[in-house]
Structure formats: structure tokens, C-alpha cells
Amino acid sequence: MPNVETYVGAARSRVDGRAKVTGVAKYAAEFTAPGLLHGSVVSGAIAKGRIMRIDTEAARAVPGVVEVFTHENRPSTAWFTHKYRDEVAPPGTPFRPLYDNAILYSGQPVALVLAEDLETAQHAASLIRVDYEAAGHATNFHHRRGDAYVPKQKRTGIAPPPIPRGNADKAHAEAPVRVENEYHIAIEHHNPMEPHATTVVWEGSGGITVHDKTQGAQNTQSYVTSVFGLSKDEVRVVSPFVGGAFGSGLRPQYQLFLAVMAALALKRSVRIVLTRDQMFTFVHRPETINRVGLGADPDGTLLAIRHDAIGSTSSFEDHQEVVVNWSGLLYHCENVKLTYELAQIDTYTPGDMRAPGAPLGVFALESAMDELAHALRADPLALRLKNLAEADENEGKQWTSNELRAALQLGAERFGWSRRSSEPCALREGRELVGWGMACGIWEASMQKTSARATLTADGRLEVGTASADIGTGTYTILSQLAADALGLPMESVVVRLGDSLLPTSPVEGGSWTAASAGSAVTAACHAVRERLFRYARSAEDSPLANADLDRVVFADGRISLMSHPSRFMTIADAMRAGGVERIEEEETASPNSSVQKRYSPYTR
């Protein structure tokens, strides 16, 4: 049997690494075009109210300034608010930049200056004067918790808290050992290395190419076509490299709208890059208050779990996350009550950030477990091991994988957990206290419907592509490994295309589903190429593979060989010649298995 090198499961340098460290990789703000205009956004200075007067005269007088847009002169765009919705949008009314004189949050864009160079645009923007009428605002989350509410409309893909099990209130009140505490988690901003930026290249005749910082080229394309009344043929979105996003690129951000608006109005290419200060004015992880109550027997058996959470949202959208459901998943307990509400504050709508919801809720639960261990004078690890759930008790399903117990035991062994003192503040190094801690975690193991294309040429070069993004998670490398293994090619012979709306359909890059989803689609497309290539090889005159079956051959080193007789083979080039083609292209779609989803929990631990 031929010696076949496999790449999946082996450590490999990132295939995009050299391009990134040498500056060859281009990001949204690095694409250029003839006659490119530069935009500078003026941010609002109050938290709530309205603009009474905006003076742009001095800005317009600066040499090199081409146009200044405000709510008073912005070009016509979509009238209906639903046109501004993207596939990740929560219920509510999406923010519409420069729509009218209303100020909804501090830092809201109130003007856009377009100039021949960035310095001129920034200088002119500094000359704009805005008079406001401030209104009473609510930005203190704690002051708003009394007005918390259960959202009437659920956000797509976000599971509400499960139906209560047993009687958690009664069980908690009667438990021999009880803890109950509140945990406040402040707003966190994504702030990836690459700021949000958009370069719109005017192609003439109404067509544009959009280079956007996005986690979903086709989501961005859909947003642009909907808002501006364009066809998909008129809008191409290209985002091959993303300099980190952490969820901030899931929804189109306002610099995209402003750049496209200006390009269409002026019929020129436009670039807008948000400043680092402006990166603190829009999408963020929501502020959250968790109240967790645990009840237990003296031996540590959990008797009750209560977890109530309130998450912040804007005044115009109901952003929702899975915050409390985790407390019904990690540990076995017959009495569980979980609630989740929202409280509106005058900020921009929060957004998904790094396993949205889980760090907020699991942090609170695990903190409470540590406090329960202290109240019991029990080892925190032993308490968790005693109570680990062996199934998804929220949905009554088995786990997709369940290695948490083994992972905790192995971690304790390697970490030397047995040497840890159970008393807080017992370990010191000089003047410093040293803490030993641990916590459990759980997250989704999901897959989304995704399509991919694979193209093999006679010289043994393979190109695979899907519209998904790589936000620094290694997708280029993962897909290269899978494609190379599927056709027995060196990784160096594989080229991966990502982040282009012209590529086969893919969901946004999020939810930890990209490797499973895009990987399955790429593998399916490569297998389709493999099958077609094998048919050509079998059909050749005097083919050494004429009577072979696909599962009895090996693809390696540019050849198709019999497992039992490696000397009997046909090259890729010869197989294609037999089929009368110079390339083989196949597109396949991979989808979740609904029957498996019915049996197994969508979470892994």
C-alpha cells in the first residue's frame, strides 16, 4: 500500500501565516482604487436627545473636502426599517445612521466628511459644530433593573430558559446548606487588532466592490442590497483576511453603511476607518447581573439551583443571549429554576462576543459553586465531580461528547491539585497571595448548512472555496488539511478561497461552527471530485483500475493506486485525459443531520 501522508491531526504551520507577518495579506482598509476618497466620522456628544443645529460651513470650506453628509442631506436609502435587518439582527428596529436628528446613544455618528486624503477629512471633521437638546438618559444599568422585562419576541437561534424542574424555591429554602449571591459583569468591548473599516470601490454603472471587516461576506452583501435597493450582481463583498473580530463583525457596522452611501452618491470609491476611540462607542458584550442561589445536603449533593439574569440592551433592539441555561446543564439537580430578562439603557445594541452568554452565566454559576464548596468545607473539585450531569437535563438528550469528568481528573493530577490548601489566602509567595482555582465549562457543538466548491486541475493543483471567513481561527489551514487528505495531495498544492460573496453559500463565521460546517462542505466537494476522477480513471483504455472499486484504491502523490498492488496506478493527468477534461469542478452542500440532532444535545463538554 502506498505511503500516504495525512495532515488532519498533525501540527502544521498556518498556511496564511507568511502572508500576514510579511504584510502581503490585505485587510479592509488596505485596498485602494483610483480617486479614492477618505471619510471621517463625527461622533455625537450626548447620550440622548436631538440635534438642533449642525454647522458644516467651515468644514466644507477646507480645500480638498468633497462633501459633508448629515441627516439633513443624506442621500435617499431604504425607508422601511426591516430593510436594515441582517441575518444576525435581534428583534427591534436596527440602527439607521444619519437617519434623522434623534440621538439614541453617546458616540452615534452625526456627520461624515469626505475628502481627497485622510488628514484633510479629519481636520474638516473637527470643525463641525453641533448644537444639541439633551434629554433625560438612562445609562446606569443598575438603575434600570427594576424595569427589566421578558422580551416578547425571541431572537432567532437563541434558546429561552427551559421550563423549571421541580420546585427550586422550596428546595432552596429548605436546603441544609445554602448560598445566594449576585454577580455583576460590566460591558466589554471587542476591540480586535483591526478596527472596523470599509473600502468601497466604485466600478461604474452602479456596481460596487465592498472590502469590509466582516465575519460574513454574504450577510454584508444582503444588508447592502436591501438598504440601497441594489441587486446581488451589483454588489460584491470581499474580505479574505480579518484582523480579529471576536463577534464584532457578525453584524454590519455603521461605517459600512456610510461608505456605501457616499460611494453611490458621489460615484467614487470611498474608504472609512473607525478610530480606536470610536471602537468603544458601538457593539459590545452586554452588561449583566446574575443572581445565583444553590442549595445542598451536607454531603454536597445539589438540591436546588436558581439562576436569574438581567442583560442590558439598547432602547431600539432586544439583544438576547443564552446566559442562564448553562446552570441547568452542567450539574445534576432535580430542582432548577432559570430566568432571563432584559433592561434597556441608552447605548448601542450589544452584540455577540466570544461564546456569547456563556462567560456571563457560567462565571456566575461557577463562582457560586466555589462559595458553596467553602460553605460545605468541601473541595471545589470534589463537589463538582459529585454533581456532574451525565446527560442534558434541560432537553433530556445525551451529550454529543462528554469528557469533562476525565478532563477534570487529569487536570487535577497534572496541576497537583491534591497539594492545594482548602483555606482561602493560605498560600503565599513573598508578599503575594497565590490562588489555586478551577472551573467547569460548556459550549455549543453545532453545524450550519454550508456549500463549498472544489476544482482540481490536471497538474494536481486543487482550489477549494466557500464564502465563510477566517477571523484568525485557522480556517485557511483547517480546510487545506481536509482538502489535501481527501485527494492525497501535498498541502502546498491546495489553495483555499474565503471571504468572497461570489463563493458558495456559507453562514457567518461564528458560533464555533465554521470548522465543522465549512470543513464538511469542503470534504464533500473534494469527495465528489475524487469520485468523478476515479470514474475517468476506470474508463481509460487498458486502465489498470478498470475493475477496481473506489474503496480499494488510494489517492496519493498525484496518483490513484490499487491498495493491494501499488504498482498499478494512474496519474491525475492521465485520468483527466481519459475523461477528455483539463479540470474537474464540483460543488457540494453539507447540512446537519436532523435525526442526530433529535437524539443528541447541541452542547459539548
> Residue 1: pLDDT above 90?
no
Kindly state the percentage of the chain with pLDDT values over 90.
92
Half-sphere exposure of 118 (CA within 13 A, CB side): 6
Domain ranges across the chain: 31-135+191-280, 141-151+159-188+284-394, 450-604
- Would you call 424 helix, strand, or coil by DSSP? coil
Each residue of 410-468: pLDDT tens digit?
999 999 999 888 888 888 899 999 988 999 999 998 999 999 999 999 999 999 999 99
The mean pLDDT value for 251-280 works out to 98
The mean pLDDT value for 469-489 works out to 97
Give the distance from CA 331 to its chain's centroid: 27
Element (H or E) spanning 588, and its range?
strand 583-590
The mean pLDDT value for 559-580 works out to 93
> Residue 3: pLDDT above 70?
no
The larger pLDDT score, comparing residue 420 to residue 186, is at 186
Task: Quickly state the pLDDT bin for 113 (edges 50, 70, 90).
Answer: very high
Task: Quickly state the pLDDT bin for 72 (edges 50, 70, 90).
Answer: very high
Burial class of residue 226 in the structure, from the number of CB atoms within 10 Å of its CB (0-12 exposed, 13-18 middle, 19+ buried): middle
Q: Out of 3.20.20.80, 3.20.20.450, 3.30.365.10, 3.40.350.10, which CATH number does the structure's domain 450-604 have?
A: 3.30.365.10
Half-sphere exposure of 510 (CA within 13 A, CB side): 23
C-alpha grid cell, residue 198: 470599509
Sheet with strand 450-457: strands edge to edge = 494-497, 462-465, 450-457, 583-590
> Residue 263: pLDDT above 90?
yes
Element (H or E) spanning 370, and its range?
helix 358-376
- Do domains 31-135+191-280 and 141-151+159-188+284-394 share one topology? The answer is no
Q: Contact, 107 vs 44, CB < 8 A?
A: yes
Cα torsion 116, 118, 121, 123: sign: negative
Q: Contact, 443 vs 361, CB < 8 A?
A: no
What's the pLDDT at 2? 60
> Residue 4: pLDDT above 90?
no
What's the pLDDT at 424? 81
Q: Residue holding cell 483591526?
A: 194
- Give me Rg for the CA atoms of the chain: 28
The mean pLDDT value for 463-489 works out to 97
The beta strands (E) that lie in 84-170 are given as 102-103, 109-115, 129-134
Q: Which fold has domain 31-135+191-280?
A: Aldehyde Oxidoreductase; domain 3 (3.90.1170)
- Would you call 344 helix, strand, or coil by DSSP? strand
Beta bridge partners of 533: none
Each residue of 486-518: pLDDT tens digit?
999 999 999 999 999 999 999 999 999 999 999
The mean pLDDT value for 70-89 works out to 94
Element (H or E) spanning 290, and its range?
strand 288-296
The larger pLDDT score, comparing residue 544 to residue 425, is at 544
What's the pLDDT at 29? 98
Task: Quickly state the pLDDT bin for 42 (edges 50, 70, 90).
Answer: very high
- Would you call 113 helix, strand, or coil by DSSP? strand
d(CA 380, CA 382): 6
Measured CA to CA in angstroms, residue 414 lies from 358, 408, 495, 548 at distances of 26, 10, 40, 50
Greatest Cα-to-Cα distance within the chain, rounded to the nearest angstrom = 86
What's the pLDDT at 314? 99
User: For 7-11, 41-45, 48-52, 270-274, which range has the lowest pLDDT when averaged over its residues?
Assistant: 7-11
Kindly give the pairing relationship between strand 336-344 and strand 177-185: unpaired
Each residue of 357-405: pLDDT tens digit?
999 999 999 999 999 999 999 999 999 999 999 999 999 999 988 999 9
DSSP string, 435-484: --------EE-----EEEEEEEETTS-EEEE-S---SSSSHHHHHHHHHH
Burial class of residue 377 in the structure, from the number of CB atoms within 10 Å of its CB (0-12 exposed, 13-18 middle, 19+ buried): exposed
The mean pLDDT value for 291-315 works out to 99
Amino acid type, 233: D
User: For 87-96, 262-271, 415-424, which range has the lowest pLDDT when averaged over its residues?
Assistant: 415-424
Beta bridge partners of 495: 463
Q: Contact, 518 vs 452, CB < 8 A?
A: yes
Q: Which fold has domain 141-151+159-188+284-394?
A: Aldehyde Oxidoreductase; domain 4 (3.30.365)
> Residue 204: pLDDT above 90?
no
The beta strands (E) that lie in 213-287 are given as 235-238, 270-273
Beta bridge partners of 69: 112
C-alpha grid cell, residue 564: 493491494
Beta bridge partners of 433: 428
